[in-house]
Amino acid sequence: VARRGTCSVALLFLDLNDFKGINDVHGHAAGDRVLCAIARRIEGCVRETDTVARIGGDEFVVLLTGIQSREAVSTKVQQILSIMDEPLDAEFHRVDMPSCSIGVA
């Protein structure tokens, strides 16, 4: 895709820090709901033409297409990091979202 046009792509690798604590404290069912909520939040930050995938455990990748600049990628990374700060309710317990590390290629 990137070679055919004048735009670039960016691959984001997201790793949730200390996610194991959510499973330990609230149980695996609540942990699964948190992972689904995280996926929905990430999907809400990107365009329909971008791709969000969980690759296992507490790791996600995001493929951003049609990138015009590095600043656009940086803005998207900051947007994703900011939504990770919002707590959520999982299995009737308020859960603080785990912090997130993001690598970009």
DSSP string, the chain: -TTTSS-EEEEEEEEETTTHHHHHHH-HHHHHHHHHHHHHHHHHHS-TTSEEEEEETTEEEEEEEEE--HHHHHHHHHHHHHHTTS-EEETTEEEPPPPEEEEE-
pLDDT of residue 23: 82
- Distance from C-alpha of 91 to C-alpha of 19, rounded to nearest angstrom: 16
Between 48 and 4, the more confident residue is 48
Residue with tokens 């984001």: 12
pLDDT of residue 78: 95
Given the residues 15, 18, 32, 58, select the one marked as catalytic.
Answer: 58
Is 58 annotated as catalytic? yes
Domain architecture of the chain: domains with CATH:
8-104 (3.30.70.270)
pLDDT of residue 12: 97
Cα–Cα separations (whole angstroms), residue 31 to 19, 61, 90: 8, 19, 8
- Residue-wise pLDDT tens digits, 33-73: 888 888 999 999 999 999 999 998 899 999 999 998 899 99
